[in-house]
């Protein structure tokens, strides 16, 4: 029997600690040591910040490292634990999933102690770090094949009190978009495990496409705003603008708000994220490439809505989601 997952330092130590989350080895590979930063300033909120859940979303790890740099000067109370890279195997491969076992870390929570490496990471995080926090910020971005506005997101939560607290926390990022996102693929998400333990969980989704300085500045300002709202740091909230838009919208999106490719081909975007569209407005065009006699097909908005996410111009299979729209939260 291998060693149980553990931290290499005591989180109760006052002040700054740096060490590792030890993830035991298994049949597929040896142990992993994930770098962890902790700043314990006594009584107050207990926050866990994670990045690198998906290996091709690198804004989160970068902002987590920036946070570690300024937190010692700024944090006045409580405890913040930062784990910049949850899945180093995926990050090193710039891959959404872990190359070794092909698994999506954000679909295997709470993990398995005797599972493959991705499941062992989830198990270590669920059992060692999660119990030490009341609030979790999991820093994602939308991946390289999408355009997406800076957003603090949550899925619908069954407990109305936890839902209200989660939406308030997400809105405290002061980002251009707060999103309640209902989709059908939530089993095994980190959110679900944390919410089952009664924790407020906010997932940040930013940008997509290339990692850029402007998006990183917005991202970091959002995280700082949220830390201020928790009372962990002092200062004045910022209201970052994104493509000339400031904060303020809280929207919701459902599975029926996914616009899918009507055929295989190249998707051409015809609008931008945060555009307001009416029923029948052109969102994009699908160009079949198998024959020049195949007509290009318009993809139109199903109703009055805001364009939330739009796929980069790329070749897609039939029935692949190419755009998402959203509406004001009821």
| Binding mask of the shown chain, residues 56 to 95, with x at each position contacting Zn ion by CB under 5 A | -x--------------------------------------
Whichever of 57 and 258 has its CB closer to Zn ion, that residue is 57
Closest distance to Zn ion from the beta carbon of 145 (Å): 12
Which of 90, 99, 106 is closest to 139 using CA atoms? 106
Closest distance to Zn ion from the beta carbon of 157 (Å): 19
CA angle 288/293/297 to nearest 5° reads 40
| Binding mask of the shown chain, residues 89 to 128, with x at each position contacting Zn ion by CB under 5 A | ----------------------------------------
Whichever of 35 and 143 has its CB closer to Zn ion, that residue is 143
User: CA-to-CA distance for 158 and 196, rounded, in angstroms?
Assistant: 10
With CB under 5 A as the contact rule, which of the stretches 50-58, 148-156, 258-266, 294-302 interacts with Zn ion? 50-58
- What is the side-by-side order of every strand in the sheet holding 265-269? 297-300, 282-287, 265-269, 315-316
Q: Could you say whether residue 155 binds Zn ion (CB under 5 A)?
A: no
Q: Is 188 left (phi over 0), alpha (psi -120 to 50) or beta?
A: left
Closest distance to Zn ion from the beta carbon of 187 (Å): 16
Whichever of 57 and 147 has its CB closer to Zn ion, that residue is 57
Identified binder of Zn ion from the candidate list 46, 54, 120, 199, rule CB under 5 A: 54
* Sign (positive or negative) of CA dihedral 168, 174, 180, 186: negative
Residue 33 · residue 22 · CB < 8 Å? yes
DSSP structure string for 277-305 = E-TT-EEEEEE--S-TTSPPEEEE-SSSE
Whichever of 54 and 224 has its CB closer to Zn ion, that residue is 54
Identified binder of Zn ion from the candidate list 120, 140, 155, 224, rule CB under 5 A: 140
Tell me whether strands 265-269 and 297-300 are parallel, antiparallel or unpaired. Answer: unpaired
Contacts with Zn ion by CB under 5 A lie at 54, 57, 140
């Amino acid at each position: 029997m291998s060693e149980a997952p553990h931290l290499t330092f005591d989180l109760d130590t006052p002040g700054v600690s740096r060490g590792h989350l030890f993830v035991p080895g298994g049949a597929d590979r040896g142990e992993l040591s994930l770098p962890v930063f902790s700043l314990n300033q006594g009584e107050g909120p207990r926050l866990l910040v994670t990045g690198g859940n998906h290996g091709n979303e690198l804004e989160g790890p970068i902002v987590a490292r920036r946070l570690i740099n300024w937190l010692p000067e700024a944090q006045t109370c409580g405890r913040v634990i930062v784990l910049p890279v949850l899945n180093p195997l995926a990050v090193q491969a710039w891959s959404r999933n872990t190359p070794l076992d092909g698994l999506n870390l954000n679909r295997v929570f709470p993990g398995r102690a005797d599972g493959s490496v991705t499941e062992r990471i989830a198990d270590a995080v669920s059992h060692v770090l999660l119990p030490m926090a009341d609030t979790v910020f999991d820093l994602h971005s939308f991946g390289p094949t999408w355009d997406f506005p800076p957003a603090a997101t949550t899925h619908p939560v069954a407990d109305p009190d936890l839902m209200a607290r989660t939406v308030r926390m997400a809105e405290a990022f002061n980002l251009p978009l707060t999103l309640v996102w209902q989709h059908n693929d939530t089993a095994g998400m980190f959110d679900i495990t944390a919410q089952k333990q009664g924790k407020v969980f906010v997932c940040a989704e930013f940008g997509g496409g290339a990692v850029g300085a402007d998006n990183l500045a917005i991202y970091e300002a959002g995280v700082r705003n949220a830390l201020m709202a928790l009372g962990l740091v002092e200062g004045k909230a910022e209201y970052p603008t994104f493509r000339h838009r400031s904060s303020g919208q809280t929207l919701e999106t459902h599975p029926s708000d996914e616009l899918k490719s009507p055929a295989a081909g190249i998707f051409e975007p015809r609008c931008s994220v945060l555009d307001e569209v009416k029923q029948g407005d052109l969102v994009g065009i699908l160009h079949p490439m198998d024959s020049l006699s195949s007509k290009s097909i318009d993809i139109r908005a199903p109703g009055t809505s805001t364009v939330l996410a739009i796929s980069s111009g790329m070749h897609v299979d039939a029935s692949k989601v190419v755009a998402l729209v959203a509406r004001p939260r009821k």
